[in-house]
Amino acid sequence: MNQRSKVFKFGGASVKDAEAIRNVAEILKNYRQEQLMIVLSAMGKTTNALEKIVEAHAQQTGEALQLLEALKLQHYHIMNELFEPHDEVYATVNDTFVEIEWVLDEDPHDNFDYMYDQIVSVGELVSTKILCAFLNNQDLPTQWLDARDVILTNELYREAWVQWGETEERFQKNAQPMLNRGGFVITQGFIGATQENFTTTLGRDGSDYSAAIFSFCANAESMTIWKDAPGVFSADPRFFPGATMLTQMSYDEAIAMTYYGAKIIHLKTVGPLKRKHIPLHVRSFLEPEATGTTITENEVAQYPSLLAIEANQVLLKISNKDFSFVTEQHFSQIFKVISELRMQVTFIQNTPLMLYICVFNQGEKVAQFAARIQDTLNTEAVTGLELINIRHATPELLQQLHKERKVLVEQTNGATAHLVVYKS
């Protein structure tokens, strides 16, 4: 019987500098005998830096090449600590950064999202080439796989949708033979490609989702996300000091919590794993001996209250200009505009005379939304808000939150509660 592969996903923090990369290699030495696929994010804050390059080029500020040079130097500094001066990885990485220079040599593309994907995707290409070279130098045989040769998407740049059938076929053709040869296979998170071979991205922080795609296609034994946190907590310990770590979660609970804003796992990650009953482990690269959190189809008898905060929220208070009801006809108009503006809705509540909608504060989109419905509807926008979502809420917890926060709107559905509050 063929050995089933495991999929490991490492995020940017795990490879932020030379010491971190060495730590990843030490972890991987324990898995020499595994059929292992490694999915890697861009190093450290590289994606943020690449986004600034995209903005500079789009606005023609003249700073794009300077910003690119600074980013290249950061990567070369890390490589200088890992490799001999004449290692071939330097030429490989330089050739990859040249792909950005080609974009910057041209006028800004009319489609900002298309241009974004061609530039920002380079972060993952570079990080995987550096880690691949280092692992091979550490006597850990590793093959480099271009994720764009596997993950086929549509042309919705920055939020591309996976074409599952074709992606599975490409995996069997391009990835499975590499796994069968033995050693590790390293590939990129976050990126895919269209049928015409234009690079796409799967949404910000989409590397978890990429790992789930590869796990699904490989029918993997398990998937592990290596993070700086020891596992999944009942709430973000930075904001809720009493949060506890969960050793077990069900798929459905994890899906609910990511939907409501928990940032430990990307929103789309759990679905593909649930379909094939693939266990998901969340472990710490800082404490690799710890077991972390395991997410499976097994139900857990009792959970503590689980809290997730969506920050940077705007509450849209929408009412009819003639003071009558907001009807289904208005709903159609409202959500058509929201869809066209690609606004991200996090909360909806309808009352007889008012429709409340929470969305992420995405620059000018709120003003554009209000302008497009102003003929029939009034829009008041309240900013500086957060949305607190609570699973397994208790009366005591809700009472405590009301004491600590100013609550604008509250909605409860059984033991699930949503509170729109002013930022603390």
Helix, strand, coil in percent for the chain, rounding step 5: 40, 25, 35
User: Distance between CA 368 and CA 290 in Å, rounded?
Assistant: 49
The DSSP code for 15 is G
Joined together, the tokens standing for residue 403 give: 């004491």
Contacts of residue 122, Cβ cutoff 8 Å, sequence gap at least 6: 50, 96, 97, 99, 100
- Closest C-alpha among 186, 195, 191 to residue 165: 195
**CB–CB of 185/142 below 8 Å?**
yes
Tokens 């509170």, residue located: 419
Q: What DSSP string runs through 49-115?
A: HHHHHHHHHHHT-S-HHHHHHHHHHHHHHHHHHHS-TT-THHHHHHHHHHHHHHHHHSPPPS-HHHH
Joined together, the tokens standing for residue 207 give: 């590397």
Start-to-end C-alpha separation, the chain: 56
Give the largest CA-CA distance in the chain: 74
Q: Which residues pair with 142 in a beta bridge?
A: 184
User: Distance between CA 417 and CA 233 in Å, rounded?
Assistant: 18
User: Distance between CA 299 and CA 251 in Å, rounded?
Assistant: 8
Residue numbering of the annotated binding site for substrate? 47, 124
Contacts of residue 201, Cβ cutoff 8 Å, sequence gap at least 6: 116, 117, 120, 121, 157, 158, 159, 160, 190, 191, 192
User: Distance between CA 214 and CA 187 in Å, rounded?
Assistant: 10
Residue numbering of the annotated binding site for ATP? 9-12, 238
Residue numbering of the annotated binding site? 9-12, 47, 124, 238
User: Distance between CA 64 and CA 68 in Å, rounded?
Assistant: 6
User: Distance between CA 288 and CA 263 in Å, rounded?
Assistant: 21
User: Distance between CA 37 and CA 367 in Å, rounded?
Assistant: 45
Instruction: Please count the other Cβ atoms lying within 10 Å of the Cβ belonging to residue 50.
Output: 22
